């Protein structure tokens, strides 16, 4: 397969390339880009055939949106699918910190979480101005999860459901956006959202991978039943499935724990037997589920971005998936590329 392979989401009518461009790195996530370097990353992804681009105000206080918008200006708006997120409002402030967590050398703004109707409307207007666009194809309510808000999560989630989501519905009715949903890191939060409101497409980060398949229990069957598409982020679980069980391997934005390293070694053992990279198996496994519209990847440099495209095109023997099942390294009910090919035949 190639990154330019597409799937059309029936409910929204949007067509996604198999690999999406994840805009967090050019927001100076865990490193800095110059303007020309950021432009080159987007240009390279375009040359690879990628036509789905995702960003967010939270990616470097609007820096990712600004850079991605500038890079995409050279292309016709009808040629690509663009998504961003709501839930943060950015306010200029003299003396604002130059960094925010893992984001470095960012614009002098302060981000405030706001999932209200007015907050969503304001955030979308700000994003459109940063990106020099008149519309989005998809918008996700961002980070209304426990990882971000801790004990305050239930109240933020309630606000997103009763106030923020109706704002997105209004924008969809007006043609400002075509598909709406949630972008979170937790399966149970997304399940609650899909049950509570009528979403089109959601972005789930890090929870459906070779290492984690809990969404097969409830979330993905419900999405399939309702025609909800899923964009997957974090399919390498923050790095360990790309690097393997090496010293310093990362899982869920932190050092990989011992049990994760052990399972990764077991996965690597099977991949080595079949002489294919673990990262290729991780990427193609994630895309095999029928509700997945795209796998969104964020690369830190041109070499990494080129490798991701090669991994997606790597030929994986059918027997590898059977071996992973027999060793109980993936679930019996997890779709794999071989199984889906057989269905088509």
Strand partners, 89: 112
Q: Is 59 a catalytic residue?
A: yes
DSSP-assigned letter for residue 235: T
Question: For residue 285, what are the contacts with CB-CB under 8 A and spacing of at least 6?
Answer: 209, 210, 330, 334, 336, 337
List the catalytic residue out of 85, 103, 192, 287. 85
d(CA 24, CA 299): 9
Which residue's entry shows tokens 């519309």? 135
Q: Is 54 a catalytic residue?
A: yes
Which residue's entry shows tokens 């992973």? 324
The vertex-337 CA angle with 334 and 341, nearest 5°, equals 115
List the catalytic residue out of 21, 59, 156, 236. 59
Which residue's entry shows tokens 């950021």? 38
d(CA 113, CA 122): 12
What are the phi and psi torsion angles at 65 (to 5°)? -60, -45
Upper half-sphere CA count for residue 305 (Cβ side, 13 Å): 24
End-to-end Cα spacing for the chain: 17
Question: For residue 152, what are the contacts with CB-CB under 8 A and spacing of at least 6?
Answer: none
Q: Which two structure tokens, joined as six digits, stand for 62?
A: 């609007």
Contacts of 245-254 spanning 24+ positions with Cβ under 8 A: 251/211, 252/206, 253/102
Question: For residue 9, what are the contacts with CB-CB under 8 A and spacing of at least 6?
Answer: 15, 16, 179, 200, 201, 229, 293
List the catalytic residue out of 21, 43, 47, 54. 54
What are the phi and psi torsion angles at 109 (to 5°)? -120, 160
What are the phi and psi torsion angles at 171 (to 5°)? -65, -35
The residues annotated as belonging to the active site are 54, 59, 85
């Amino acid at each position: 397969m190639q990154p330019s392979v597409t799937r059309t989401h029936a409910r929204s009518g949007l067509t996604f390339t198999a690999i999406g461009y994840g805009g967090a790195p050019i927001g100076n996530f865990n490193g800095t880009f110059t303007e020309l370097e950021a432009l080159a990353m987007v240009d390279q992804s375009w040359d690879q055939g990628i036509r789905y681009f995702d960003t967010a105000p939270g990616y470097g206080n609007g820096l990712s949106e600004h850079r991605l918008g500038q890079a995409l200006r050279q292309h016709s708006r009808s040629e690509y699918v663009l998504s961003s997120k709501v839930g943060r409002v950015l306010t200029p402030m003299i003396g604002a910190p130059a960094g925010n967590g893992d984001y470095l050398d960012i614009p002098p703004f302060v981000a405030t979480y706001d999932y209200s109707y007015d907050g969503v409307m304001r955030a979308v207007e700000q994003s459109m101005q940063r990106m020099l666009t008149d519309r989005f194809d998809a918008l996700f309510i961002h980070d209304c999860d426990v990882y971000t808000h801790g004990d305050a999560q239930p109240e933020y989630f309630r606000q997103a459901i009763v106030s923020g989501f109706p704002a997105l519905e209004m924008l969809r009715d007006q043609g400002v956006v075509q598909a709406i949903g949630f972008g979170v890191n937790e399966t149970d939060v997304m399940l609650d959202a899909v049950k509570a409101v009528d979403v089109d497409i959601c972005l789930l980060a890090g929870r459906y991978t070779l290492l984690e398949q809990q969404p097969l229990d409830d979330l993905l069957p419900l999405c399939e039943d309702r025609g909800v598409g899923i964009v997957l982020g974090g399919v390498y679980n923050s790095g360990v499935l790309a690097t393997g069980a090496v010293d310093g391997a990362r899982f869920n934005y932190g050092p990989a724990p011992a049990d994760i390293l052990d399972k990764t070694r077991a996965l690597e053992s099977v991949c080595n037997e079949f002489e294919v990279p673990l990262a290729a198996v991780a990427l193609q496994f994630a895309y095999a589920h029928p509700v997945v519209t795209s796998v969104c990847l964020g690369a830190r440099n041109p070499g990494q971005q080129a490798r991701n495209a090669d991994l997606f095109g790597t030929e994986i023997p059918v027997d590898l998936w059977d071996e992973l099942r027999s060793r109980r390294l993936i679930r019996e009910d997890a779709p794999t590329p071989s199984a889906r090919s057989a269905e088509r035949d």
